[in-house]
Amino acid sequence: MRNLFIQQRIAIAVFAILSLMILAGCYLFSISLAKTSFASGAILLTCILFLACYQLRKKLSILPIGSASTWLQFHIFIGFLSFVLFMLHMKMRIPDGLFEFILFLTYFTVFLSGVLGWLLSRSIPHRLLSRGEEVIFERIPLHRRKIHDKVKALVFENAGDGKAIPDFYEQHLRTFFEGPRNQLRHILHSERHRHQLSQKIAALKPFLNEQEQATLLQITKKIQLKDDLDYQYIFQAIIKAWLFVHVPLTYSLIIFALYHTLAVCAFASMSR
């Protein structure tokens, strides 16, 4: 743990030094009246290509080309450094050309989704551990169905002749057990839906006989189980979903950036 702390400190220090060096280099380059955009653009493109290589490393897990965690550290480091370069390259202003604006927007989305992913990968594991049973994401629907089947058996087979529990199930529980529910509330750590359901169950209790009360108690436990499963589902889904934004947009960014480079090189003699 102490090593990790020291590593983080070193990374921040190196980042600060490199950023200052880039800024100083740009300044020195600019006072000699040279075109800094070419230099910053070339370095930025190299950075983007390096960042994209991380995905390649993940595919080539069997090759001895360094551990994925080392690659990720570099990926994050270079990612932040690329942002400094990007701002320099843009000269801190929003481009006015349509293509440049799309390129700007793509880079920003990729960068922000990367930062978001980084933050999520630091916070969600802890949340997943704090509640519910650890279930593999792909198996969650199966677990959900099993819970639902057990609840249906309790409602329609164990509840006796009374209609109270089947009615309650149709009115309040069927939709709850059918699929993932209350996702936004889980994200916001709100437990309001559970309190509401508990109140409804408490209100129903006085109208039930002993056998029905026992059945309701078992259903209550299943509600807790299903709610925990929903919690696991939404957070595991989020931590997988952000990659569907980050990775495809990275490929778009590379294509746009290469086109931009070609265009810049082709019209270099005309630029001022």
Partner 1 sequence: MSEPSISRPRRWDKPFSLEVGSEEELTDDMVDFLLTTPPFSQIDPAGFKRSLPLRDIMKNDVRIVGFDEGDIIVRRGDWGNSAFFILSGNVRVDLERKQTSLPDEILGRRTNKVKTLWESFSQLWQNNSEPEVREIASVGGSKSTLNTRFAHGGTRIYLPEVSSVLDKYRTARLDAGHWFGEVAALGRTSRVATVFSEGVSQLLEIRWQGIRDILRHDREGSLKKYIEDVFRERALSAFLRTEPLFQDCPPELMQRIVDQVEFHTFGNYDSHKPFKELLEDQNHNVDGGEPVIIQEGDYLSGIVMIRSGLARISQRHHNGRRTIGYLSPGQIFGLDEIQSEVQSLTPVACRAQLSAIGHLNAVLVPTPLVEEILEQNSPAKSSSKKAKKQIRATGSQSVKLNDDILLSQLVDRHYVQATSLMVIDLDRCTRCDDCVRACATAHDNNPRFIRHGPILNQYMIPNSCLHCADPICMIECPTGAIFRDLAKGDIVINEQTCIGCAQCASNCPFDAIRMVDIRDATGALIVDSKTQTPLAQATKCDLCIDQRGGPACERACPHDALFRVDMHDAAKVEEVFAS
Residue 231 binding partner 1, by CB under 8 A: no
The one among 31, 33, 62, 270 contacting partner 1 by CB under 8 A? 62
Residue 5 binding partner 1, by CB under 8 A: no
DSSP structural state of residue 269: G
Q: How far is the CB of 45 from partner 1 (least distance, A)?
A: 24
Residues 124 and 221: their CA atoms lie apart, in Å, by 25
Q: How far is the CB of 145 from partner 1 (least distance, A)?
A: 18
DSSP per-residue string spanning 114-166: HHHHHHHHHHHHHHHHHSS----GGGHHHHHHHHHHHHHHIIIIISTT-SHHH
Residue 1 binding partner 1, by CB under 8 A: yes
The one among 240, 241, 248, 265 contacting partner 1 by CB under 8 A? 240
Amino acid letter, 37: S
Taking residue 255's Cβ as centre, other Cβ atoms within 10 Å add up to 11
Please, what's the b/e burial string for 118-138 (b: 16 or more CB within 10 A of its CB; e: otherwise)? bebeeeeeebbeeebeebeee
Q: Within the chain, what is the greatest distance between any pair of CA atoms?
A: 91
Residue 71 binding partner 1, by CB under 8 A: yes
Residues 128/237, Cβ–Cβ less than 8 Å: no
The one among 31, 32, 69, 161 contacting partner 1 by CB under 8 A? 69
Residue 272 binding partner 1, by CB under 8 A: no
Part in contact with partner 1 (CB under 8 A); list of ranges 35-43, 126-134, 162-170, 252-260: 126-134
Part in contact with partner 1 (CB under 8 A); list of ranges 42-50, 65-73, 165-173, 257-265: 65-73
Q: How far is the CB of 75 from partner 1 (least distance, A)?
A: 9
Residue 124 or 147 with smaller CB distance to partner 1? 124
Residues 6+ apart with CB under 8 A from 77: 11, 14, 15
Residue 59 binding partner 1, by CB under 8 A: yes
Per CB under 8 A, residues contacting partner 1 are 1, 58-64, 67-69, 71-72, 120-121, 124-126, 128-129, 134, 136-137, 236, 239-240
